Amino acid sequence: MVSWNQNDLKKHNSESPFQPMQSPTITVQRANKRDERERLEARHKKEDLSRDDLLFLLSILEGELQARDEVIAVLKSEKTDSALLGAQYGSSRPEKVLRALRRDSLWTQQDHLQDVYKETRAELNNLVKAQKRSSERMQEQLLEVSRSHRDALHRLEEQERSHRDFTHKSTGLTTLLEEDRE
């Protein structure tokens, strides 16, 4: 059994980790920290931004984020578009595609010499026909507009002629009336 005398107890209590030890170096460090904190607070007071400045900075950051998102979207669409076009028109490794088509035709027991681009050619022919029809419709509309324009010019010329005749007759009538009056 261990016995404690008064000096040991005092010494033990003074070394307790729960009681802070006051030493001159600690007070100097605290003073230095306090001075440093005051300097930082003074600097922050100088750097305090107004609400308008903060809103301006926020709007700039939002613009940067939107621009980044747009660039990402454009890059993704370019990558996707080139992959889709390559797959659709056979420019992305056609040998693998043709090999797969042959394999599938053998599996379904169809003629493996069947035209691979038949459907694409049919779609292209349909597009050409649709463009021809729309071109013909536009030509008909242009002819109709030119006819109506020509008719409007004829009517204006006729009105101008009739107005000239009317003014000529009215001046002749006024001269006759003036002669009768005299």
Alpha-carbon span 47 to 39, nearest angstrom: 12
**In this predicted model, what pLDDT tens digit does every residue of 21-41 receive, in sequence order?**
444 455 556 667 777 777 767
Residues 75, 39, single domain; the answer is yes
87 lies in some domain: yes
Structural domain contains residue 99: yes
Q: Is residue 66 part of a domain?
A: yes
The residues, ordered by sequence, that sit 6+ positions from 88 with a Cβ below 8 Å of its Cβ are: 120
For 87, residues 6+ apart whose C-beta sits below 8 A from its C-beta are 97
User: 0.95 cut: is pTM over it?
Assistant: no
Asked if 112 and 124 sit in the same domain, the reply is: no
- pLDDT, tens digit, for every residue of 77-90? 777 666 666 666 65
Is residue 44's pLDDT more than 80?
no
Full residue range of the structural domain in which residue 95 is found: 25-116
Whether 180 is covered by a domain: the verdict is no
* 76 shares a domain with 98: yes
| Domain-embedded: residue 170 | no
| Domain-located, residue 14 | no
| DSSP assigned state of 20 | P
Total domains in the chain come to: 2
Looking at the structure, do residues 62 and 133 belong to the same domain, yes or no? no
Q: How far is CA 171 from CA 164, 178, 181, in A?
A: 10, 10, 15
| Angstrom distance (rounded) from CA 168 to CA 174 | 10
